[in-house]
Structure 1
Amino acid sequence: MSFYFIAKKILGTLLIPPLVYWLPIVLGLILQRRWKRLGQTLTWSGVVLGLFLCTPATVQLITAPLENHPPIDEPDARRAQAIVILGGGQRRANPEYDGKPTVNRLTLERVRFGAQLARMTGLPILVSGGAPTGTTPEAELMGRVLTVDFRQPPQWVEAGSLDTSENAENSAAMLRGFKIQRIALVTHAAHMRRAVEEFRAQGLEVIPAPMGFMGDGTLGEEFFDYLPNNTSAYTGWYAMHEWLGIGVQKIRFAFR
């Protein structure tokens, strides 16, 4: 695990919920004893930011611009030469599976949609995802789920990548050996914007196949649908994670 990867994870922890709003709240409460106005400003800034990042209407404002690729249709899907599914994490403690690791919710959603595309098009699948903590690589877990649960075994298993840029680099290197240039890329809609740029930077033609849209602009009809809730809080976390990733990506590309 590289210093860059560790530093990126630490930075991400500090700049996305919940610490991005808890830190100014705690710091503000501490500073109020000596600098009352500054402390109050920091505290209330954290409170407002926290509400912004868990209220449905405001969360949609930061999520919708990320999801700038429409759902894939069948003619576009059939133009691809292969389907690439990106990992999104794993669950390591699963007593219902004899304690063995398996894919988490995000990865399962991606695998399910990738399997659907494979059934529709007959295209081969590449799964991509490593093991940052030294456990079973995500790609291997994805391959098991595709084979056992969806009857769509992958043709390629890229198990060495730790982030989206390595997903792209390692997958492109693997596919070049089979003269594959055009892919249907499967990941969550909010992640697609960043993922497409990484894969295109590796010289691949990318047909986005986004799924799991979170910022579709629709709100419920009941009053309670407009109040902060766990779903919008999760979406706010995910959106902040992606915006931070895009910022880091732009800096990386600028220094290439």
Structure 2
Amino acid sequence: MPLRFFIKQWLMPPGVLLLMLLAAWWLRKSWPRTARLFFIGGLGGLWLMSLPVVMQHLAGRIETVPPLAMNEWAGLAGRADAIVVLGSGRERGDPAWGGQDQPTGVALERMRYATQLAKASGLPLLTTGGLHYGAPPSEARLMADSLQRDFGVPVRWLEEESRTTWENAELSAAILLPQGVKRVVVVTQAWHMQRSVWSFQRAGFEVVGAPVGFMGIDSGRPFGGWVPDSKAVWQNGQLFNEVVGLIGYRLFY
């Protein structure tokens, strides 16, 4: 897992863009024209990744599953049998919590939304997510504990072995389908929802998408989003990763 993660980080932006800049420096004397192209591509790519307007445009193309209207929440009981909350990593050893691992901010956003859907509809919850670099507890366990402790919502099922969105779906199916749970509400980020719905449908579920955390909306950033922003670098990185995932899933699954 660490080796695969390391390779992936250098093949995806911004890692690959930094490699282009390194190649430009290395080739500056022997291949000056090639070095110039690498420099323009690397620096230009980093500049584009830093622009909120690029992030907003790309997110708008990926976030194709519409949000649930608030007046639909109570009616979910007639459309689904359970709510599935997808994991999103962890914060390691937070001193504020006695050195215990905690769900990430993205995971908390999903959990908060799932809490409201569960309270409005009465549907039971499943959390899904395995170990992070092999270290317990699982992401599913971290979320289940937080949902009970912080939001007062119990989790009925935990899927604690998955490492990818595809495995989220396949291993959740192994738990839910034998119990007659064939219709699920999937809670994840709006930019991650298209791939998640596709995966859960392939696993045998009827899926109601419940996206949260939309990026493709007017964020109100200064100068129309044309000023570089450090947050946009992370957001664009997530979106580029999702584009690759969408393509890869359709090719390999």
Partner residue of 1:143? Answer: 144
Once residues 197 and 41 of structure 1 are traced to their aligned partners in structure 2, the CA distance between those partners, rounded to angstroms, is: 38
Once residues 6 and 252 of structure 2 are traced to their aligned partners in structure 1, the CA distance between those partners, rounded to angstroms, is: 17
Once residues 241 and 188 of structure 1 are traced to their aligned partners in structure 2, the CA distance between those partners, rounded to angstroms, is: 13
* Contact 2:53–2:225, Cα closer than 8 Å, also in 1: no
Using the size of structure 2 for normalisation, the TM-score is: 0.93
Partner residue of 1:25? Answer: 21
Structure 1 regions of 5+ residues with no counterpart? none
* Contact 2:52–2:232, Cα closer than 8 Å, also in 1: yes
Once residues 144 and 151 of structure 2 are traced to their aligned partners in structure 1, the CA distance between those partners, rounded to angstroms, is: 10
- Amino acid aligned to 1:116: Q
Quote the offset at 1:6 in angstroms. Answer: 5.0
2:47 to 46, 51, 54: 51
Quote the offset at 1:11 in angstroms. Answer: 4.3
Partner residue of 1:174? Answer: 175
Once residues 173 and 211 of structure 2 are traced to their aligned partners in structure 1, the CA distance between those partners, rounded to angstroms, is: 19
* Contact 2:51–2:225, Cα closer than 8 Å, also in 1: no
Quote the offset at 1:222 in angstroms. Answer: 3.2
Aligned length: 248
Quote the offset at 1:37 in angstroms. Answer: 0.7
Partner residue of 1:106? Answer: 106
* Contact 1:185–1:209, Cα closer than 8 Å, also in 2: yes
Partner residue of 1:203? Answer: 204
Once residues 207 and 219 of structure 2 are traced to their aligned partners in structure 1, the CA distance between those partners, rounded to angstroms, is: 31
Once residues 115 and 138 of structure 1 are traced to their aligned partners in structure 2, the CA distance between those partners, rounded to angstroms, is: 17
Q: Which has the larger displacement, 109-118 or 224-233?
A: 224-233
* Contact 1:85–1:127, Cα closer than 8 Å, also in 2: yes
Once residues 14 and 248 of structure 1 are traced to their aligned partners in structure 2, the CA distance between those partners, rounded to angstroms, is: 17
Quote the offset at 1:20 in angstroms. Answer: 2.2
Once residues 156 and 219 of structure 1 are traced to their aligned partners in structure 2, the CA distance between those partners, rounded to angstroms, is: 36
Partner residue of 2:11? Answer: 15
Secondary structure of 1:34's counterpart equals coil
Summarize deviations over 1:130-188 as a string: whole Å, max 9, x none: 00412110000000110000001110011011111110000011001210110000000
1:41 to 26, 37, 40: 37
Once residues 87 and 59 of structure 2 are traced to their aligned partners in structure 1, the CA distance between those partners, rounded to angstroms, is: 20
Q: Does 1:122 align with 2:119?
A: no
Structure 2 regions of 5+ residues with no counterpart? none
Secondary structure of 1:184's counterpart equals strand
Using a 3 Å threshold, how does the CA distance of structure 1 residues 108 and 221 change in structure 2: closer, same or farther? closer
Using a 3 Å threshold, how does the CA distance of structure 1 residues 186 and 219 change in structure 2: closer, same or farther? closer
- Amino acid aligned to 2:23: L
- Amino acid aligned to 1:237: G
Q: Which has the larger displacement, 94-103 or 70-79?
A: 70-79
Quote the offset at 1:36 in angstroms. Answer: 0.5
Partner residue of 1:222? Answer: 222
Q: Does 1:189 align with 2:216?
A: no
